[in-house]
Structure 1
Amino acid sequence: MSAKKLLLAALGLFAGYKLYKAGNPQIPDNVTPVTNFELSRYLGKWFEVARVENRFEKGLIKTTAEYTLNGDGTVNVLNSGLVESTGRHKRASGTAVFVRVKDEGALKVSFFRPFYGGYNIVDLDEDYQWAIIVGSSPKYFWVLSRTTEVSEELSARAIKVASEVGIVPHNIKWVQQN
């Protein structure tokens, strides 16, 4: 096999591997998704009260996430927020699917198929009033609440969970909701 063909084959394998990884985000080793998860209780509107700033949400305030069930069993994800500097409304719609089993809070979400990001619910209020989510890496962390208010208890818990999974607590941005 010529060097050129060998190089093309290697590039093809690398590209295939990257596409596979993009479609199958991994659960980080130090992250344990919740079990006994009930999707029906999780569906509905959530306020994003904290996050590690990321390029998709940079500068957004009054951010929300709304989850509804699709006919095929996947979850429709509608994220929205206001661009603080302009007041312009921004929305993104995606699809979430379970990674392993339906009673574990390990999902993957795509806003641009075939590319997926991890969505691992690592802490969840027993009444489904707040949730703490870690993505495929410490670059992605969210705290969701059914209300716009953040109690001191939830704030302290989010910081504790963040520290446990390798997220630097001062990287958490508390999102303006009012």
Structure 2
Amino acid sequence: MATFRSTFFALLLPLLLSACSTSVPSGLHPITPFELNRYLGQWYEIARLDHSFERGMSDVNATYQLLDDGSVKVINRGYNTQRQAWKEAIGRALFIGDPATASLKVSFFGPFYGGYHVIALDPDYRWSLVAGPDRDYLWILARDKTLPVEVREQLLSQAKALGFATDKLIWVEQTRSDTN
């Protein structure tokens, strides 16, 4: 397990070093008002732009838990299809400014933080569109393993209008349970 985690963190290191920025990409506006308590819990990755730390991963999900100090524990989990094994990384998120604005910084490795900005959010907190520190980072997340076609198309249109390379999105397979 220690080797497994070391390998996973080694894959995260390029992201952390290249994405140590926590700023909001130009022209994007994090959601406000934002209610962290409604955002907590498990989210499934529906789509993402490709990065080495998630390459070859299916069944990716993230769980957010409020900690006593007000920070958020982030548990990212996915299935490495090449190694046929689950991978997990645990990090910590902090609000960059006002907690009513969905703009956080997340760290999985020491003092290196990357931006996590919710730029679209379902009123019932059923799906979200998340940008990183620049337009090379984009995730579509949902509470369920699939999204209705009309929601998916709406999010694609919005992301494209905001300058993201939606033609390069990877649509994440969500077929495994957490135990197989």
**TM-score bin, normalised by smaller chain:** 0.7 to 0.9
Unaligned runs of 5+ in 2: 1-16, 176-180
How many angstroms does 1:166 deviate by? 1.5
Aligned to 1:140: 137
Aligned to 2:92: 95
Tell me the percent identity: 38
Moved over 6 A (4+): none
5 Å-filtered alignment, 1:78-117, equals: 78-117=75-114
Aligned to 1:172: 169
Which amino acid in structure 1 is aligned with residue 97 of structure 2?
Answer: R
How many angstroms does 1:162 deviate by? 1.6
Distance 2:151 2:56 in 1: 23
Pair 1:27 & 2:24 matched = yes
Pair 1:121 & 2:115 matched = no
SS in 2 for 1:153: helix
How many angstroms does 1:46 deviate by? 0.6
Pick from 48, 59, 67 the counterpart of residue 45 of structure 2. Answer: 48
Pick from 31, 36, 39 the counterpart of residue 39 of structure 1. Answer: 36
Which amino acid in structure 1 is aligned with residue 85 of structure 2?
Answer: R
How many angstroms does 1:159 deviate by? 1.1
SS in 2 for 1:92: strand
What is the Cα-based RMSD across aligned positions, in Å? Answer: 1.4
SS in 2 for 1:36: coil
Aligned to 1:74: 71
Unaligned runs of 5+ in 1: 1-18
CA contact (8 A) 2:34 2:101 kept: yes
Aligned to 2:8: none
SS in 2 for 1:56: coil
CA contact (8 A) 2:91 2:108 kept: yes
CA contact (8 A) 2:107 2:114 kept: yes
Aligned to 1:131: 128
Distance 2:51 2:73 in 1: 21
How many angstroms does 1:39 deviate by? 0.3
TM-score between both structures, scaled by the size of structure 1: 0.85
How many angstroms does 1:165 deviate by? 2.3
Distance 1:44 1:85 in 2: 28
SS in 1 for 2:59: strand
Distance 1:127 1:27 in 2: 24
